Amino acid sequence: MQDEFFMRRAIELAEKGRFAVRPNPLVGCVLVRDGEIIAEGWHDHLGGLHAEQMAIADAEARGVETQGSIAYVTLEPCNHFGRTPPCSEALMWAGVKKVIIGIADPNPTVRGGGVDALSKEGIEVEIGLLEEECYAQMSAFMHWCEHRTPHVLLKAATDNNGRIDGDPGKPAVRFSTKKALEMVHEIRRDSMAIIVGVNTVIRDDPKLTVRGIKSSADIIPKRVVIDPNNRIPIDCQLMTTPDAETYLINAKKYDTTKDKAHVNRIVLPTENGNIDVKKILHCLGDLEVQTLLVEGGLETWKRFLEQKLVDSAHLCISNIELDAQNEDYFYKSHLEEAGLVLKEEITLGNDIITKWERN
Ligand code: AOF
Ligand code: ZN
């Protein structure tokens, strides 16, 4: 029970690095002696100390002896020289007698190495304490290590008939509550990239930035447009505002002399005029994008859903009626057919937000 208490504290500490460490995982560590926490650490920002090293430095700074202590760490200590020297060595050097680990590190560059290196030095190692909680906290990193593609979240908003668009040039759906709009920006902030089809850019000229909520300049999501035939208007917000990197997925090389510095182009092959979304996911995975938000429109949602590439979805149904001339509809059944299951339903004023997960 005591062990769980200490690991829970390590998980709590890891949370302090949320958004600032990606694409690295959230990791926390406590050093314990005689049943008491003597030092704490967490991975605080990309390129910063790893959790174990911060905990050791914390002890040193306060003149606390680490010899003979037990380390509780949410992720297997690394055993490689990356942005920082190996944590396995730091733990040995600190004289830790035992290391209790939440979950093994599936990153191919460090896999298994940490546990082996510690065991070889005669340090006792236990693995798997509160593994599920540790996994959940690092799920984006874990998913990416396993598949080398991002976790895909689809976000759609409709009126109460399932219509998705009203007047062009205005936001697709005017949510009836401020909280619902804030949720949209929260899921943008939680994503490392946001993808739309070029038709959405032509129609709505979105900025695809995080606004109106607490955020950080370090975590600006990339903006990605599927645009095989280079139809993007040169004067649209994505092309003219350098607020975030913009990536255009094209089917061939185009003249880029008019592109601003924040615009990047990626050329991918087409099949029947379409770029395979699976290839886009691989490409984004190579750019270390671990979480992708699919914002629309209908064509783009369908392409991801048809290939069963959507891992979770948020569908907001607002109690309003959009322009009756519009014929684009999106229903819960689209999600069900793609293997998604309803997990949660939240009512915010006149908006109903449903949350879906892959079964
Ligand atoms: C640890 N403790 O606190 C973290 C670990 O780029 P680097 O050098 O920071 O290394 C990143 C990799 O190290 C990351 O992909 C993951 O495998 C592991 N993260 N390991 O021992 C930590 N954040
Ligand atoms: Zn490390």
With contact defined as beta carbons under 8 Å apart, do 53 and 43 qualify?
no
* d(C-alpha 73, C-alpha 52), whole Å: 7
What's residue 164's pLDDT?
87
What's residue 111's pLDDT?
63
Is 75 touching ligand 1 by the criterion CB < 6 Å? Answer: yes
* DSSP character string of 225-245: EE-TT----TTSHHHH-TTS-
* d(C-alpha 282, C-alpha 298), whole Å: 22
Within the chain, all domains assigned CATH 3.40.430.10 are found at 150-358
pTM: 0.90
DSSP state letter for 251:
S
Q: pLDDT tens for residues 101-152?
A: 999 999 877 766 899 999 999 999 999 999 999 999 999 999 999 999 999 9
How would residue 176 be classed by pLDDT, with cut points 50, 70 and 90? low
For the chain, percent of residues with pLDDT exceeding 90: 77
24 Cβ contact list (under 8 Å, min separation 6): 43, 46, 141
What's residue 252's pLDDT?
94
With contact defined as beta carbons under 8 Å apart, do 172 and 166 qualify?
yes
113 Cβ contact list (under 8 Å, min separation 6): 78, 79, 80, 88
With contact defined as beta carbons under 8 Å apart, do 14 and 40 qualify?
no
Q: Which atom number of ligand 1 is nearest to the Cα of residue 47?
A: 9
Q: pLDDT tens for residues 63-91?
A: 999 999 999 999 999 998 877 789 999 99
With contact defined as beta carbons under 8 Å apart, do 245 and 289 qualify?
no
Sign of CA dihedral 80, 85, 87, 93: positive
Q: Which atom number of ligand 1 is nearest to the Cα of residue 25?
A: 23
Residue 214 token pair: 């607490």
Is 348 touching ligand 1 by the criterion CB < 6 Å? Answer: no
Tell the residue nearest (CA) to atom 12 of ligand 1.
24
Longest dimension (CA), the chain: 73
Is 13 touching ligand 1 by the criterion CB < 6 Å? Answer: no
Is 293 touching ligand 1 by the criterion CB < 6 Å? Answer: no
Catalytic residue list: 52
Residue 6 token pair: 């200490």
228 Cβ contact list (under 8 Å, min separation 6): 249, 250, 251, 270, 273, 274, 275
CB atoms within 10 A of CB 215: 17
Within the chain, all domains assigned CATH 3.40.140.10 are found at 2-143
For the chain, percent of residues with pLDDT exceeding 70: 96
* Pocket perturbation via mutation, ligand 1, pick of 73, 110, 116, 143 by most ligand atoms within 8 A of CB: 110
What's residue 169's pLDDT?
57
pLDDT at 174 exceeding the cut of 70: no
Q: Which atom number of ligand 1 is nearest to the Cα of residue 83?
A: 8
Order of strands, edge to edge, in the sheet holding 70-75? 36-42, 28-33, 70-75, 98-103, 124-127
Quote the ligand 1 centre to 282 CA distance (angstroms): 22
Q: Which of 197-206, 213-222, 328-337 shows the lowest mean pLDDT across its residues? A: 213-222
Quote the ligand 1 centre to 81 CA distance (angstroms): 10
Is 27 touching ligand 1 by the criterion CB < 6 Å? Answer: yes
Q: pLDDT tens for residues 261-292?
A: 999 999 999 988 899 999 999 999 999 999 99
Quote the ligand 2 centre to 87 CA distance (angstroms): 4
Tell the residue nearest (CA) to atom 2 of ligand 1.
50
* Pocket perturbation via mutation, ligand 1, pick of 78, 83, 144, 146 by most ligand atoms within 8 A of CB: 78
Is 43 touching ligand 1 by the criterion CB < 6 Å? Answer: yes
DSSP state letter for 268:
-
Average pLDDT score over the chain: 92
- The CATH class of 2-143 is alpha beta
CA distances for 140 relative to 7, 190, 214, angstroms: 20, 10, 21
* d(C-alpha 150, C-alpha 142), whole Å: 10
Q: Which residues surround ligand 2, an ion (CB under 5 A)?
A: 50, 78, 87
Q: Among 264, 186, 184, 273, which residue's Cα sits nearest to residue 225?
A: 264
How would residue 166 be classed by pLDDT, with cut points 50, 70 and 90? low
* d(C-alpha 208, C-alpha 320), whole Å: 23
Quote the ligand 1 centre to 297 CA distance (angstroms): 36
Fold of 150-358: Dihydrofolate Reductase, subunit A (3.40.430)
